[in-house]
């Protein structure tokens, strides 16, 4: 029998890679027992990443969930691990140092043993605090090498990076192959190189199966000295998730490794329960595309953890762009069309954005810029015409140094917009905030919670926590899941109407001219099974509503209150007049110039600046701060 290999079940990541939510705490407790009874896992990934945020989003206390969920594994002697994002902690944006330090203390007391820390730029400076805070809190500090494939990210690059992490205090190394695009032989060389320099440092391989390379990479990692392999299990293995336990177990056993046997009955019970959770509500947030492997992702290298939310975003973007196309009598596009355009654009923009590793949050930034480019170019606008504020922060060095230089066009844009590059330590940009949030909790009469865990949650996720406390999050979730279930039921029970045969074979399509709210539509109507001309509009099934906050216009474009021009929303999302408390919002009477930033829209987890496309004086503000807004809604009237 050969060297021993251990296994880790990434149960949290399985759900995040598939869709939006994770199971409720009562469901997690049900599945914990069969996972333990399987008898083959030395580690289970229980929390971290977006775990706490999604708990808050469906109205559940995440601290209660983490404590109850980790307890069975603690009792069974199985180590628990979490994922944390370095400077960003367990959210999408940078976190003050005092909040980061408290996080590790709280998570250890809640039952989490290992902190897997990664930085999307592989920036040692950003992870130094993670290692220090994890060890101070009593956790094992594991450093993740965010694996990607580019001219910069070579085998030697990663071996040297591991040296830096270990010197800064990392006790373990994870090869984090979040997109599954690590080439197997290169993965083996990285593991071998690290082991040759640090033979006593534990190495764990984490690979998503998305393009199909991770099984071979798992074997190469094991052969070259990896100690633990991360696995998933049905019904959420493969696709954008992880290789299945059964496959990895059989492969490693055949290769001669010593590996614990598993209880098949317990596997089937855990599998059945996970399916039960999907049938309950989680499956309504899992796009079928995420259950498929896709070798096209070798090119753009988008990670499995992001694909879960990407498909949901694409659904909304597709509706939005097709609505725009329909209003202009242009042919609609399919989700597949949009997806391929997105993949191609990611490959174009990634080098020009400085080769950030395609992992949270930077994979979202790259994807969002690419998607905005695609949508804007479909509308006939220029590439880079909408670069969100989060991406600008990354480009300017506010998240640390990028691996490569940014493109000339972006450098020119930064100069034109008077944006300054930052060379210092990113953590210095985000002063301590625990006292601020403690004062807010005192004002509201809220308890800090056991081990200050509620204070941590509020400081880490302020908006989501307030929505959770008010009950707004639960109401919104229940309404959303009710609508999704009703929609699914309606589709499943809708009668199938057989096509009416047409006797006249030479009947030609006719053209209708429709007027809807002042918009002219040209609609081709075919009475045969011929395909409508490509320049025909999609059938109009209902009137496109005028935004409720838009003024009624006359034929010459003037409102009843007088002549004006409009600044409209460039995309749908949540509207904000400011993005931070220190910023002064625009008000009626302010003069603005073309190119000025006048407000913001939060969409796809990032903040997008709205710039004025004309100059004038604001006479009315129709966008409501903090409320949802549709694309093309009027937000400012100016004269």
Report the pLDDT value the prediction gives residue 184, as an integer from 0 to 100.
97
Report CA torsion sign: 315, 299, 12, 394: negative
Confirm if 120 and 362 have CB atoms less than 8 A apart.
yes
pLDDT band, residue 540 (cuts 50/70/90)? very low
Confirm if 622 and 633 have CB atoms less than 8 A apart.
yes
Q: Comparing 379-393, 545-559, 604-618, which segment has the lowest mean pLDDT?
A: 545-559
Bridging pattern class, strands 591-592 and 634-638: unpaired
If one compares 426 and 361, the residue with the highest pLDDT of the two is 426
Percent of the chain with pLDDT over 90: 59
Using a cut of 0.85, tell me whether the model's pTM lies above it.
no
Bridging pattern class, strands 519-525 and 510-516: antiparallel
Q: What are phi and psi of 449, to 5 degrees?
A: 85, 170
Q: Comparing 14-18, 77-81, 152-156, 521-525, which segment has the lowest mean pLDDT?
A: 521-525
Q: What are phi and psi of 614, to 5 degrees?
A: -160, 160
pLDDT band, residue 343 (cuts 50/70/90)? confident
pLDDT band, residue 407 (cuts 50/70/90)? very high
Report the pLDDT value the prediction gives residue 521, as an integer from 0 to 100.
47
pLDDT band, residue 631 (cuts 50/70/90)? confident
Query: Residue 109 pLDDT > 70, yes or no?
Result: yes
Distances (CA, A) of 181 to 194, 301, 326, 370: 20, 6, 38, 19
* HEC letters along 312-371: HHHHHHHHHHHHHHHHCCCCCCCHHHHHHHHHHHHHHHHHHCCCCCCCCCHHHHHHHHHH
| 307-311 contacts at long range (C-beta below 8 A, 24 or more positions apart) | 307/17, 307/210, 307/240, 308/16, 308/17, 308/18, 308/19, 308/20, 308/240, 309/20, 309/605, 310/367, 311/287
Q: How many CB atoms lie within 10 A of CB 162?
A: 23
**Residue with token string 């830096």:** 164
User: Using the 8-state DSSP alphabet, how is residue 92 labeled?
Assistant: S
Confirm if 181 and 304 have CB atoms less than 8 A apart.
no
Percent of the chain with pLDDT over 70: 87
Report the pLDDT value the prediction gives residue 604, as an integer from 0 to 100.
64
Query: Residue 411 pLDDT > 90, yes or no?
Result: yes
Q: Cα(239)–Cα(214) distance, rounded to whole angstroms?
A: 11
Report CA torsion sign: 331, 335, 340, 341: positive
Confirm if 41 and 296 have CB atoms less than 8 A apart.
no
* Peptide linkage before 361 cis (omega within 30 of 0): yes
Query: Residue 549 pLDDT > 60, yes or no?
Result: no
Average pLDDT over residues 217-225: 98
Instruction: Report which of 220, 195, 193 is spatially closest to residue 207, judged by C-alpha positions.
Output: 220
- At the top level of CATH, the class of 565-638 is mainly beta
Structure tokens at 525: 């109507």
Sheet holding 628-629, edge to edge: 606-611, 597-603, 573-576, 628-629
Q: Residues 6 or more apart from 266 whose CB is under 8 A from it?
A: 34, 35, 37, 38, 39
What would you report as the CA-atom Rg of the chain, rounded to the nearest whole angstrom? 26
Q: Cα(62)–Cα(457) distance, rounded to whole angstroms?
A: 8
If one compares 387 and 8, the residue with the highest pLDDT of the two is 8
User: Using the 8-state DSSP alphabet, how is residue 58 labeled?
Assistant: T
Q: Tell me the H-state helices in 384-498.
A: 389-395, 408-416, 434-444, 453-460, 462-470, 472-493
Q: Is 562 exposed, middle or buried (0-12, 13-18, 19+ CB in 10 A)?
A: exposed
Q: What are phi and psi of 564, to 5 degrees?
A: -155, 170
- Three-state DSSP at 244 gives strand
Confirm if 44 and 80 have CB atoms less than 8 A apart.
yes
Bridging pattern class, strands 79-84 and 41-48: parallel
pLDDT band, residue 390 (cuts 50/70/90)? confident
Query: Residue 519 pLDDT > 70, yes or no?
Result: no
Mark 69-96 as b/e (b = at least 16 C-beta within 10 Å): bbebbbeeebbbbbbbbbbbbbbbbbbb
Instruction: Report which of 118, 132, 99, 213 is spatially closest to residue 174, judged by C-alpha positions.
Output: 118
Q: What are phi and psi of 369, to 5 degrees?
A: -60, -45
Report the pLDDT value the prediction gives residue 127, as an integer from 0 to 100.
96
Confirm if 205 and 177 have CB atoms less than 8 A apart.
yes
Average pLDDT over residues 218-231: 98
- The DSSP bridge partners found for residue 629 are 573
Task: For the domain made up of 299-429, give the CATH fold.
Answer: Cyclin A; domain 1 (1.10.472)
Query: Residue 507 pLDDT > 50, yes or no?
Result: no
Query: Residue 553 pLDDT > 80, yes or no?
Result: no
Q: Residues 6 or more apart from 209 whose CB is under 8 A from it?
A: 180, 215, 232, 237, 238, 239, 240, 241, 242, 243, 293, 304
How confident is the prediction for the chain on average, in pLDDT? 86
Instruction: For residue range 142-185, list pLDDT tens digits in order.
Output: 999 999 888 999 999 999 999 999 999 999 999 999 889 899 99
Q: Comparing 198-207, 320-329, 549-558, 600-609, which segment has the lowest mean pLDDT?
A: 549-558
pLDDT band, residue 375 (cuts 50/70/90)? confident
Query: Residue 528 pLDDT > 50, yes or no?
Result: no
User: Using the 8-state DSSP alphabet, how is residue 426 labeled?
Assistant: G
Average pLDDT over residues 200-219: 95
Confirm if 314 and 266 have CB atoms less than 8 A apart.
no
Sheet holding 591-592, edge to edge: 565-568, 634-638, 616-621, 591-592
Q: Cα(519)–Cα(543) distance, rounded to whole angstroms?
A: 10
Confirm if 244 and 214 have CB atoms less than 8 A apart.
no
Task: For the domain made up of 6-291, give the CATH fold.
Answer: TIM Barrel (3.20.20)
Average pLDDT over residues 618-636: 87
| Sequence spans of domains, the chain | 6-291, 299-429, 497-544, 565-638
Report the pLDDT value the prediction gives residue 605, as an integer from 0 to 100.
64
Query: Residue 62 pLDDT > 80, yes or no?
Result: yes
pLDDT band, residue 539 (cuts 50/70/90)? very low
pLDDT band, residue 300 (cuts 50/70/90)? confident
Q: Cα(86)–Cα(170) distance, rounded to whole angstroms?
A: 13
């Amino acid at each position: 029998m050969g060297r021993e290999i251990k296994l880790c079940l990434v149960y949290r990541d399985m759900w995040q890679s598939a869709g939006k939510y994770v199971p409720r705490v009562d469901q997690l407790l049900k599945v914990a027992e069969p996972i333990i009874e399987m008898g083959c896992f030395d580690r289970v990934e229980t929390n971290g990443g977006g775990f706490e945020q999604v708990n808050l989003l469906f109205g559940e206390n995440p601290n209660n969930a983490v404590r109850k969920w980790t307890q069975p594994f603690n009792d069974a002697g199985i180590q628990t691990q979490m994922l944390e994002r370095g400077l960003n902690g367990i959210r999408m944006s940078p976190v003050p140092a005092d909040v980061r330090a408290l996080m590790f203390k709280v998570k250890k007391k809640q039952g989490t043993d290992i902190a897997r820390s990664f930085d999307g730029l592989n920036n040692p400076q950003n992870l130094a605090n993670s290692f220090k805070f994890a060890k101070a809190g009593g956790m094992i500090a594991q450093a993740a090498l965010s694996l990607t494939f580019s001219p910069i990210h070579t085998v030697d690059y990663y071996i040297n990076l591991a040296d830096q992490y270990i010197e800064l205090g990392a006790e373990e190394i994870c090869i984090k192959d979040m997109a599954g695009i690590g080439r197997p032989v290169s993965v083996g060389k990285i593991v071998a190189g690290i082991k040759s320099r640090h033979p006593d440092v534990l190495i764990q391989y984490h690979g998503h199966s998305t393009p199909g390379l991770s099984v071979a990479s798992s074997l190469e990692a094991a052969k070259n000295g990896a100690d633990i392999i991360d696995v998933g299990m049905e019904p959420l293995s493969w696709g954008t998730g992880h290789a299945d336990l059964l496959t990895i177990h059989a492969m490693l056993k055949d290769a001669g490794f010593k590996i614990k046997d598993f209880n098949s009955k317990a596997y089937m019970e855990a599998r059945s329960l996970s399916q039960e959770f999907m049938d309950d509500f989680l499956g309504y947030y899992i796009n079928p595309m995420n259950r498929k492997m896709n070798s096209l992702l070798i090119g753009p290298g988008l990670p499995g953890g992001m694909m879960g939310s990407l498909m949901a975003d694409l659904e909304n973007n597709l509706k939005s762009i097709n609505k725009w196309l329909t209003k202009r009598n242009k042919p609609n596009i399919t989700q597949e069309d949009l997806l391929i355009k997105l993949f191609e654009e990611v490959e174009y923009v990634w080098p020009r954005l400085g080769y950030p590793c395609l992992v949270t949050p930077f994979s979202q930034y790259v994807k969002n810029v690419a998607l905005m480019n695609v949508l804007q170019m479909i509308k006939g606008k220029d590439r880079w015409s909408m670069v969100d504020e989060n991406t600008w922060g990354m480009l300017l060095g506010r998240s640390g140094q990028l691996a490569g230089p940014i493109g000339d066009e972006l450098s020119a844009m930064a100069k034109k917009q008077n944006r300054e590059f930052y060379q210092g330590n990113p953590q210095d940009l985000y002063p301590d905030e625990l006292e601020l949030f403690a004062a807010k909790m005192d004002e509201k009469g809220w308890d800090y919670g056991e081990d200050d865990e509620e204070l941590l949650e509020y400081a880490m996720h302020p908006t989501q926590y307030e929505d959770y406390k008010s009950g707004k999050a639960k109401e919104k979730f229940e309404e959303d899941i009710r609508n999704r279930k009703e929609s699914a039921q309606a589709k499943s029970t809708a009668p199938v109407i057989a096509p009416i045969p047409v006797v006249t074979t030479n009947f030609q399509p006719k053209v209708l001219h429709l007027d809807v709210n002042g918009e002219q539509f040209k609609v081709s109507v075919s009475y045969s099974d011929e395909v409508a001309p490509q320049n025909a509009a999609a059938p109009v099934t209902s009137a496109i509503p005028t935004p409720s906050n838009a003024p009624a216009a006359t034929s010459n474009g003037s409102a009843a209150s007088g002549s004006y021009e409009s600044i409209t929303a460039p995309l749908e999302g949540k509207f904000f007049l400011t993005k931070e408390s220190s910023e002064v919002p625009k008000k009626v009477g302010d003069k603005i110039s073309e190119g000025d930033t006048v407000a913001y829209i939060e969409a796809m987890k990032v903040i997008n600046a709205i710039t004025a496309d004309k100059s004038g004086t604001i006479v009315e503000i129709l966008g409501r701060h903090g409320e949802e807004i549709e694309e093309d809604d009027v937000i400012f009237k100016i004269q």
